[in-house]
Amino acid sequence: MGISNSPSDANVSFADTVYAIIHQTIEQLGEEIGVHTDLHSFVDVELLTHFYVVALAGILESWLLGEIDRTPEQLIQFADIMLNDQVNGAAARNNSQ
């Protein structure tokens, strides 16, 4: 699942695009904290990606329904903090074992 802007990829769903973005973000966070090569050994990246895609879909739905009084920028910042904390916490757990 890659991200592309070409017209031939019009059949790529929004969910696939979001999945690819979240997956890539998790991989990048692993690189930033220096565990990219070991990331898959202590985090189920596919399950973590799926978890955040579903969670963000729920947040988006709640925002659209007016249940969340935050700006899109605040929601993105929140998601960024959550993903960072998740990957850093997994790395710390792995280092303590």
What burial letters (b/e) apply to 73-83, b meaning 16+ CB within 10 Å? eebeeebeeeb
- Are 29 and 87 in contact by the 8 Å Cβ rule? The answer is yes
Does the pLDDT value for residue 87 go beyond 90?
Answer: no
Within 1-97, residue ranges assigned H as helices are 14-32, 39-42, 45-64, 72-96
Does the pLDDT value for residue 2 go beyond 50?
Answer: no
- Residue 1: what pLDDT? 43
Q: What percent of the chain has pLDDT over 70?
A: 77
User: How many domains does one find in the chain?
Assistant: 1
Q: Is residue 35 part of a domain?
A: no
Q: Is residue 26 part of a domain?
A: no
Q: Is residue 11 part of a domain?
A: no
Q: Is residue 50 part of a domain?
A: yes
- The residue-averaged pLDDT of 35-52 equals 76
Neighbours of 49 (CB within 10 A): 23
- The residue-averaged pLDDT of 61-80 equals 94
